[in-house]
Amino acid sequence: MMRMKMVGIAVSAVIAGTAWAAATRDEPITPIRPPVQVNLGMVELGKKLYFDPRLSKSGFISCNSCHNLSMGGTDNIPTSIGDKWQQGPINAPTVLNSSLNVAQFWDGRAADLKAQAGGPIANPGEMAFTHTLALDVLESIPAYVREFKQVFGKDKIDIDQVTLAIAEFEKTLVTPNSRFDQWLLGKDDALTPAELEGYNLFKNSGCVACHNGEAVGGNSFQKMGLVEPYKASSPAEGRSAVTGKDADRFNFKVPTLRNVEMTYPYFHDGAANTLTEAVDTMGRLQLGKKFTKDENARIVAFLKTLTGEQPKFTLPILPPSSDATPRPKPFN
Amino acid sequence: MMRMKMVGIAVSAVIAGTAWAAATRDEPITPIRPPVQVNLGMVELGKKLYFDPRLSKSGFISCNSCHNLSMGGTDNIPTSIGDKWQQGPINAPTVLNSSLNVAQFWDGRAADLKAQAGGPIANPGEMAFTHTLALDVLESIPAYVREFKQVFGKDKIDIDQVTLAIAEFEKTLVTPNSRFDQWLLGKDDALTPAELEGYNLFKNSGCVACHNGEAVGGNSFQKMGLVEPYKASSPAEGRSAVTGKDADRFNFKVPTLRNVEMTYPYFHDGAANTLTEAVDTMGRLQLGKKFTKDENARIVAFLKTLTGEQPKFTLPILPPSSDATPRPKPFN
């Protein structure tokens, strides 16, 4: 009886998320936790919306086009392709673990995933639609109408429901159980000696000052080019575009380094093709430090241990349009 | 003993695919059969390639972009979007059940799925790459090199392996167990009376002359505009472009009607937005017959019973590029 009671307490503690951290090593990076308090109906609906190109004017671009879940939640090109092949101004950040970010977009102009989700739909350079037109499409598709009603219990679909559902799906896109997290959680042989040396270099050189926490980044804004200026190939000004403060010029959200092996190219302008190049540039520009070839290789080896389990789910099947559904306009 | 022996025989016969048809109603449409003799290693590799935009110059377009498996294996726009947003000349046919087609493309210029798969990669208006450059990309990705070696047992990746693997995956994209097939296989109440009347109209009006067999089409070339000429919005000339024979002008492969509710818009130029419109046009132009509103509605109701089980699989995770991988060129 006593034992059963203790098990009961342990389970409650785990569910509440309090007993969890105790199991880890005391490091500035903490393991990714699976999502809690997820609304599964909303997740399934949001997954469909995430993959649905009918939320774009052309009927060709979905959230997954630029935040491709087959490719680390990015598009792996320097800047994204928008409606009519417009070139985007900035590198698409990964959607993986984005629920852990302090804010969304490189400049943090959206407070959370819900606020972010509405942006690209209505951005003339991205999906080039409007919220009203997107809602007209959804309202014309009987299976969507039923599913929204089932999930939200309302008679009409509104943009808040759309962005809430997409955000709820995105909350599930975390990548636990990387080899680095296995090591954090006590599996001593999860890292090779070179990878562990790479981590110690990463920690002791100061990288960890910005790249820390559960997402190994994503939790602060920092100046790109702290010690030496960065010559960006993108016109983006960073955080100052949001705050209006000159002091925030060229401050960007520190990107997560989770799954960084999959999220190339790097930096807000996508100018660095390889991790070797990115580590070298960051060392020089942010830390005033020139890593040797061997140090660089060890840090890169460590970074590759941050690749976690990728979200695993069945490709959603989208409900077909009805006769009343407004047709996409890809070429006008 | 006798009974066991009989069961043994029955099982062998089913595996060989011979005892199968006996279980069905005697109709000009036959049920979709699940694929046999599938090479699963090749399927898994082909699935990755099917979803991999690195087979395109831009790094943005994959097979799934225009033959989207979330949307009936099509893009649901009249003509497809290619590299740099070029407008394609013809409607993307569904990849679903395409293994049942007599040949591939609307004009049948590819004999089979393997021959088809190489086309879009190298078509300047579609993925705009070359086979050589696509192979350079694949050869630079260690996880692909290993997987090709595992599946094909050769030291070098060639285009035949790439197209074979994609074709093998496409062989799995069949959609059995539609309500119509359930009816064919003996479930009397699988169709409503109106749907059954629609089928009888479809059969007795002559639609079934071209739309028959397992795919309800796909097994012959026929003239578009047999009784009355069709005013196409596409410049495509059809089968004559392949045979050089003037008699084949405007002959196109009869499209499958499987999952037709999902594969809008219709015809080789994608000019018909709804099934109602497509049925009306086909009746007039191919059969010289004007269906009443009620007849049209019943035929449409029947057509919607041809939606089968959509392919169900986990979204593939693509192996990341290496430092040596040539980078996509989306904007030059």
Phi and psi dihedrals of B71, rounded to 5?
A: -135, 50
CB B175 within 8 A of CB B308: yes
What DSSP letter does each residue of A100-140 carry, written as one string? GSSSBSTT--BSSHHHHHHHHHH-TTTT---HHHHHHHHHT
Q: Are residues A88 and A105 in the same domain?
A: yes
A262 pLDDT higher than 80: yes
Q: Does residue A140 form part of some domain?
A: yes
Compute chain A's Rg from CA coordinates. 21
Contact A48, A161 (CB under 8 A): no
Same domain, B222 and B272: yes
Q: What is the per-residue pLDDT for B21?
A: 54
Lowest average pLDDT, out of A19-28, A233-242, B33-42, goes to A19-28
Out of B58, B274, B318, name the one closest to residue A71 (CB). Answer: B318
Same domain, A79 and A137: yes
Residues B264 and B240 in one domain: yes
Tell me the pLDDT tens digit for each residue of A149-158.
999 999 999 9
* Cβ of residue B140 closer than 8 Å to a chain A Cβ: no
Residue A268 lies in a domain: yes
Q: Which of B317, B322, B325, B332 is the best mutation test for A, with the most CBs of A within 10 A?
A: B317
Q: How many CA atoms lie within 13 A of B203 on its CB side?
A: 12
Catalytic residues of B: 126
Bridge partners of residue B104, in order along the sequence: B110
B219 shares a domain with B130 = no
Q: What DSSP state is assigned to residue B97? A: T
For residue A251, what are the β-bridge partners?
A223
Q: Are A104 and A115 in contact (CB under 8 A)?
A: yes
Closest CA to B211 of B258, B243, B168, B171: B258
Amino acid of residue A257: L
In the predicted model, is pLDDT for residue B122 greater than 60? Answer: yes
From A44, A170, A29, select the one nearest A110 (Cα to Cα).
A170
pLDDT of residue B186: 95
For residue A315, list chain B residues with Cβ-Cβ distance below 8 A.
69-70, 312-315
φ/ψ of residue B110, rounded to 5: -110, 135
Mark whether A309 is an active-site residue: no
Q: Do B315 and A52 touch (CB under 8 A)?
A: no
Q: What is the mean pLDDT of residues A186-206?
A: 98
Q: Residue B91 belongs to what domain range?
A: 40-171
Per-residue pLDDT band at A21 (split at 50, 70, 90): low
Q: What confidence score (pLDDT) does residue B7 get?
A: 42
pLDDT for res A327 = 97
pLDDT higher than 50, residue A16: no
Q: Looking at A56-100, which runs of residues are DSSP E strands?
A: none
Residues B302 and B244 in one domain: yes
Q: State whether residue A59 sits within 8 Å of chain B by CB.
A: yes
User: Six-digit token pair at B232?
Assistant: 């196409």
Residues B221, B288 within the same domain: yes
Asked if the Cβ–Cβ distance from B320 to A274 is below 8 Å, we say: no
Look at residue B332 in the predicted model and tell me its pLDDT.
87
What pLDDT band is residue A13 in, cutting at 50, 70 and 90? Answer: very low
pLDDT for residue A100 is more than 50: yes
Minimum distance, in Å, between the CA of residue A90 and any CA atom of chain B: 14
Residue B195 has pLDDT above 50, yes or no: yes
Question: Lowest-pLDDT range, A48-52, A121-125, B19-23?
Answer: B19-23
| Residue at a domain's end among B136, B171, B206 | B171
- Asked if residues A320 and B72 have their Cβ atoms less than 8 Å apart, the reply is yes
Residue A159: its pLDDT value, please?
98
CATH number at residue B111: 1.10.760.10
Q: Residue B54 region, left (φ>0) first, then alpha (ψ -120 to 50), else beta?
A: alpha
Task: Tell me the ipTM for this assembly.
Answer: 0.93
Residue A53 shares a structural domain with residue A124? yes
Q: Residue B272 phi/psi, 5° resolution?
A: -95, 120
Checking if the pLDDT of A66 tops 80, the result is yes
Judge whether A67 and A186 are in contact, CB under 8 Å: no
Mean pLDDT, residues A168-174: 98
Judge whether A88 and A206 are in contact, CB under 8 Å.
Answer: no
Nearest CA in chain B to A271: B327
- Structural domain contains residue B29: no
Name the residue among A143, A159, A153, A167 with its Cα closest to residue A67.
A167
Give residue-wise pLDDT tens across range B67-104: 999 999 999 999 999 999 999 999 999 999 999 999 99
Q: What is the pLDDT of residues A266-292, one digit of tens each?
A: 999 999 999 999 999 999 999 999 999
Residue A9 lies in a domain: no
Same domain, residue pair B162 and B201: no
Contact status, residue A76 vs residue B59, Cβ threshold 8 Å:
yes
Q: Which long-range contacts does A38-43 make (Cβ < 8 Å, 24+ apart)? A: A38/A168, A38/A171, A38/A172, A39/A151, A39/A168, A41/A150, A41/A151, A42/A151, A42/A164, A42/A165, A42/A168, A42/A169, A43/A165, A43/A168, A43/A169, A43/A171, A43/A172
Residues pairing with B213 in the sheet? B29
Q: Which pLDDT value is given to residue A147?
A: 98
Residue B23 domain flag: no
Examine residue A204 and state whether it is found in any structural domain, yes or no.
yes
Task: Note whether B190 and B155 are same-domain residues.
Answer: no
* Contact indicator for A23, A10 with CB cutoff of 8 Å: no
Long-range residue pairs from A292-299, CB within 8 A, at least 24 positions apart, any chain: A295/A201, A297/A194, A297/A198, A298/A194, A298/A195, A298/A197, A298/A198, A298/A201, A299/A198, A299/A201, A299/A202, A299/A207
Q: How far is A243 from chain B (nearest CA, A)?
A: 32
- Contact between A101 and A179 under an 8 Å Cβ cutoff? The reply is no
Is the residue at B24 inside a domain?
no
Q: What percent of chain A has pLDDT over 90?
A: 92
* Encoded tokens for A50: 């995430």
Tell me the two tokens of residue B259.
Answer: 């999952």
pLDDT at B277: 98
Mean pLDDT of A302-315: 98
In a shared domain, residues B126 and B184:
no
Number of domains in chain B: 2
Mutate to test the interface with B, among A76, A84, A266 (most CBs of B within 10 A): A76
Let me know if residue B35 belongs to a domain. no
CB A242 within 8 A of CB A109: yes
How many degrees, rounded to 5, is the angle at CA A165 between CA A163 and CA A167?
Answer: 65
Q: Based on the domain organization, do A102 and A205 belong to the same domain? A: no
Q: Over chain B, what is the mean pLDDT? A: 93
Band of residue A299 on the pLDDT scale cut at 50, 70, 90: very high
**Closest CB from B51, B81, B331 relative to A87:** B331
| Sequential DSSP letters for B107-162 | T--BSSHHHHHHHHHH-TTTT---HHHHHHHHHT-HHHHHHHHHHH--SS--HHHH
Return the percentage of chain B with pLDDT > 70, whole number: 93
> Could you say which of B171, B202, B235 is where a domain stops?
B171
Which residue in this structure is represented by tokens 């035929």? B299
**Cis peptide bond upstream of A265, omega within 30:** yes
Final residue belonging to a domain, choices A171, A192, A211: A171
The minimal CB distance from A315 to the residues B58, B87, B315 is found for: B315
